[in-house]
Structures are given as structure tokens and as C-alpha cells.
């Protein structure tokens, strides 16, 4: 009987300490959301880079919109599988405040340019190797595709490693309160 009672006391203390630890951890997480990072709620690293058309792309340019920031390569079959969904988001969802910006991780610029032209990609494409910023490294891309959904407030809403239902992810981001309402 004493063992059972002692076990209950230890279990209760563990719950109490764990609850306080979780609360403290929650405080730390809220503070971390104010610093740059790649987790939901954090502001991703800022960048400025020219796309394949020579147009300057800046992350803060998309403030107030839901941004689909997509890292890909021409040789990746999973990346190719998301092209139609990305095209749809760029063309049919723009009126709802959605934009698509992609970062190609191929090394051969002529291959990227030809692929973009042949596929008729309607969204801006940054060649990571061309701009020398290594955005893939800044955004912790270790495999492709990787997609960040960045909310209207400029914070990461979702991150996907691999293929994802990007339309559903954008719907989720659009339901989040706008910066002026927060």
C-alpha cells in the first residue's frame, strides 16, 4: 500500500513539475517567435534577390499577402508534381492575396531558364546558385521540395518537406487574422 501511495505522490509531482516546465517552455517559445527563424510563428530570414527576369524580389514585398515560398529543382519528380498546383495558386488565388515565389536549387542556369520557359511558369523564379545567397541553406533546405507558407503578417504559418496539399495550406493561412486585425 505504501508503494502505491509513494508511486502516486511521485507521479503527481512529475505532473506538477512537467506542467510548470511546459508553461515556462511556452514562455520561451513566445519569445523565440519574435526572433528570425523557420518555425511556425517566426519571421523567416529576409532576403533580396533578382529573379530570372531580373526583377528584384524581397521577402518584405509580400507583406500583407500569403506567400508560398517553394524550393525546388528541375530534375526532381516531386517538384514537377507540384507545378500545376503552384500555377493555380499564382493565377487563380492572386485576387485573394496569394503569391508564389520559387527558389530553384539547380546548378545549371540555362537548364533552369529553358525549363521555366517550356513549362510556362507564371510565378517568379530565383536561381539560388545565380544570386549567390544560398537561400536553400538560409532556409534549412536539406531535401526537395520544401515549401514555406508565410502569412500576411510575414511569419511562417507552415513548412512542408516533400509534396503537400498547397491549396489546403493556403486556405489555412488565409483564415488567419490579418495583421491589422491582430
pLDDT tens digits, residue range 10-65? 434 333 333 333 323 333 333 334 445 689 999 999 999 999 999 999 999 999 99
| pLDDT band, residue 95 (cuts 50/70/90) | very high
| pLDDT band, residue 177 (cuts 50/70/90) | low
| pLDDT band, residue 179 (cuts 50/70/90) | low
The larger pLDDT score, comparing residue 133 to residue 36, is at: 133
Residue 126, SS3 per DSSP: strand
The larger pLDDT score, comparing residue 67 to residue 1, is at: 67
- pLDDT of res. 36: 55
Model pTM score: 0.77
For 13-50, give the secondary structure using H, E and C.
Answer: HHHHHHHHHHHHHHHHHHHHCCCECCCCCCECCCCEEE
Rounded Cα gap, residues 29 and 42, in angstroms: 10
With a cut of 80, say whether residue 145 has pLDDT above it.
yes
Rounded Cα gap, residues 122 and 146, in angstroms: 19
Strands of the 125-127 sheet, one edge to the other: 125-127, 98-104, 66-72, 146-150, 156-161
Mean pLDDT of the chain: 81
Can you tell me the mean pLDDT for 119-123?
A: 97
- pLDDT of res. 132: 67
Amino acid at each position: 500500500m505504501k508503494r502505491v501511495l509513494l508511486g502516486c505522490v511521485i507521479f503527481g509531482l512529475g505532473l506538477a513539475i512537467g506542467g510548470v516546465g511546459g508553461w515556462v517552455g511556452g514562455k520561451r517559445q513566445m519569445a523565440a517567435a519574435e526572433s528570425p527563424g523557420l518555425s511556425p510563428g517566426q519571421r523567416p530570414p529576409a532576403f533580396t534577390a533578382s529573379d530570372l527576369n531580373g526583377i528584384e524580389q524581397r521577402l518584405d514585398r509580400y507583406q500583407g499577402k500569403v506567400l508560398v515560398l517553394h524550393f525546388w529543382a528541375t530534375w526532381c519528380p516531386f517538384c514537377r508534381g507540384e507545378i500545376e498546383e503552384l500555377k493555380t495558386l499564382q493565377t487563380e488565388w492572386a485576387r485573394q492575396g496569394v503569391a508564389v515565389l520559387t527558389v530553384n536549387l539547380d546548378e545549371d542556369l540555362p537548364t533552369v531558364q529553358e525549363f521555366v520557359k517550356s513549362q510556362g511558369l507564371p510565378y517568379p523564379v530565383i536561381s539560388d546558385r545565380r544570386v549567390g545567397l544560398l537561400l536553400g541553406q538560409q532556409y534549412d533546405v536539406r531535401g526537395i521540395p520544401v515549401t514555406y507558407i508565410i502569412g500576411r503578417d510575414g511569419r511562417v504559418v507552415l513548412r512542408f518537406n516533400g509534396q503537400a496539399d498547397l491549396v489546403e495550406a493556403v486556405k489555412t493561412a488565409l483564415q488567419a487574422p490579418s495583421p491589422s486585425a491582430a
